[in-house]
Amino acid sequence: MKNLNYLIMFLLLAMNTVAQTDYSPAPENLKNREWFQDAKFGLFVHWGVYAVMAGGGDQGVAEWIMNQKQIPIEQYEKLPAFFNPTSFDPAEWVAIVKKAGMQYITITSKHHDGFAMYDSKVSDYNIVDQTPYGKDVLKQLKDECDKQGIKLFFYYSQLDWHHPDYFPRGRTGKDFTGRPQSGDWNKYIDYMNTQLTELLTNYGEIGGIWFDGMWDKPDAEWRLEETYQLIHDLQPGAMIGSNHHIAPFPGEDFQMFERDLPGENTMGFNKTETISDLPLEMCETMNGSWGFNLKDNNYKSSKQLIQTMVKAAGHGANFLLNTGPMPNGKIQPENVDTLMVMGRWLKQYGEAIYGTRKGPIRPSEWGATTQKGNIIYVHVLDLEQEQLEIPALDRKIKKITFFDDGSKVKFKKSEKGIVLEIPSEKKNTIDTILKIEI
């Protein structure tokens, strides 16, 4: 009997601990998750003092230049003096974003180089104190986003190649930085939490925090629970996501995939097969670089990017498309051109993307499906033949039409499902959309 009492007491205590660590999102967070899934398309911005180096003449180097070229902190600290983006016009950036049909921006507040692109008071290694420009770009961008109705998320690198207390070091930012071989890890986490507090208190309501860099020290004591709790206490609606490349931890509000569709791993980053029930997001580059790189002309075509966005939507994932602004503050004209093409496409076909959720048929070689209410959108992206067989649907089909001209699609039942007739003259070079009313 005594043992049973102990057991009950232990179970109650354990349940209590679980209840404390169990995160249940606030109503405003749940609302933002819905908004996020409806929004579908955002601009990722990698901007920092590394833009001055423009990749240093190498194709694959940009925001990683400090680590790739083994630049000691003492030397790298000279870079901010050259960063003077006098042509930065936040109103222009946000107008581009809107014309592209994007609904939000995620911008680097601090990348792995440790340099804060905002007015941080906890360290003077920031844009206001160290550059001739002397102004907080995040503040200016946030004000403009508020004016034009765009949400702003802050990317924050947990990995830091500059802070001495980021110790023991991880996989990157090692001895070349010239930091002492000692440091207080907990002091670093405190510093990070103070910077996050700044970001969550000085910029009004933000969309959320986009973490990156945990992969540098996967086994470290990141005190995630404390950090996530802090963020949600400061702004319960702020969505937390982390690019740790593994399954989401409790407290995270969305799951992200880097340069791969959910479930794919062509890049070697995505080490998990877990696709959670959280909102999903895929991020992608326009060329091969995140930060500005003068030598990287390996641009993806707008068709390729639209098709990836469509496939992402078919997986239920947002598409966060990156640009690395130039050191003068302008977005590369090549990137603007691509964004305008995407915006025009979305103006015409946005109905089949915005506000949808993944459709009933898993994306495959030929394309993807999205769904909104009683409409299933079949996006035919790559089809040689004039017939497409899709699995049977569990709802009765009322009618099927081509999105482009509203004409009826002929279809018949087959052994495996439904065969849709898609004559060549009805095909659209980017995405032939069929609307199935159920």
Q: How far apart are CA 425 and CA 404, in angstroms?
A: 12
> What is the total count of residues that contact ligand FHN (CB under 6 A)?
9
**What are the φ/ψ torsions at residue 297 (nearest 5 degrees)?**
-100, 20
Would you say 156 or 403 has its CB closer to ligand FHN?
Answer: 156
Would you say 166 or 403 has its CB closer to ligand FHN?
Answer: 166
- Least distance in angstroms from the C-beta of 283 to ligand FHN: 5
Of the candidates 297, 282, 284, the one whose C-alpha atom is nearest the C-alpha of residue 332 is 297
How many CB atoms within 10 Å of residue 1?
A: 5
Residue 282 within binding range of ligand FHN, rule CB under 6 A: no
**Between 66 and 105, how does the x/- string for binding to ligand FHN read (CB under 6 A)?**
----------------------------------------
Of the candidates 375, 369, 394, 387, the one whose C-alpha atom is nearest the C-alpha of residue 427 is 387
Of the candidates 103, 67, 5, 38, the one whose C-alpha atom is nearest the C-alpha of residue 370 is 38
- Least distance in angstroms from the C-beta of 50 to ligand FHN: 10
Residue 342 within binding range of ligand FHN, rule CB under 6 A: no
From residue 137, how far is each of 85, 120, 293, 366, 427 by CA, in Å? 10, 12, 20, 42, 45
Go through the chain and tell me how many residues it has: 438
- Least distance in angstroms from the C-beta of 382 to ligand FHN: 26
Residue 284 within binding range of ligand FHN, rule CB under 6 A: no
Tokens of 401: 């039409």
Q: What angle do CA 65, 66, 69 make, to 5 degrees?
A: 70
From residue 95, how far is each of 145, 204, 300, 302, 340 by CA, in Å? 9, 21, 22, 19, 11
Q: Amino acid identity, residue 135?
A: K
Site for ligand FHN in 141-180 (CB under 6 A): none
Would you say 113 or 136 has its CB closer to ligand FHN?
Answer: 113
Would you say 287 or 356 has its CB closer to ligand FHN?
Answer: 287
- Least distance in angstroms from the C-beta of 281 to ligand FHN: 10
Would you say 141 or 430 has its CB closer to ligand FHN?
Answer: 141
Would you say 144 or 212 has its CB closer to ligand FHN?
Answer: 212
Residue 283 within binding range of ligand FHN, rule CB under 6 A: yes
Residue 338 within binding range of ligand FHN, rule CB under 6 A: no
Name the one residue in this structure whose structure tokens are 């089909």: 397
Q: What is the DSSP string of 20-35?
A: HH-----HHHHHHHHH
Q: How far apart are CA 376 and CA 207, in angstroms?
A: 29
Would you say 283 or 368 has its CB closer to ligand FHN?
Answer: 283
Site for ligand FHN in 212-231 (CB under 6 A): 212
**What SS3 class is residue 178?**
coil
Tokens of 363: 């994306």
Would you say 169 or 187 has its CB closer to ligand FHN?
Answer: 169
Residue 243 within binding range of ligand FHN, rule CB under 6 A: yes
Would you say 46 or 151 has its CB closer to ligand FHN?
Answer: 46
Q: What angle do CA 232, 233, 237 make, to 5 degrees?
A: 45
Name the one residue in this structure whose structure tokens are 């001209």: 405
Of 58, 63, 160, 296, the one binding ligand FHN by CB under 6 A: 63
Residue 290 within binding range of ligand FHN, rule CB under 6 A: yes
- Is cis: bond before 236, omega within 30 of 0? no
Decide the pairing of beta strands 208-212 and 239-243. Answer: parallel
Residue 258 within binding range of ligand FHN, rule CB under 6 A: yes
- Least distance in angstroms from the C-beta of 298 to ligand FHN: 16
Label residue 79 exposed, middle or buried (CB < 10 Å: 0-12, 13-18, 19+).
buried
**Between 195 and 214, how does the x/- string for binding to ligand FHN read (CB under 6 A)?**
-----------------x--
Tokens of 255: 């799951």
Would you say 176 or 354 has its CB closer to ligand FHN?
Answer: 176
- Least distance in angstroms from the C-beta of 260 to ligand FHN: 11
Binding-site ranges for ligand FHN (CB under 6 A): 46, 63-64, 212, 243, 258, 269, 283, 290
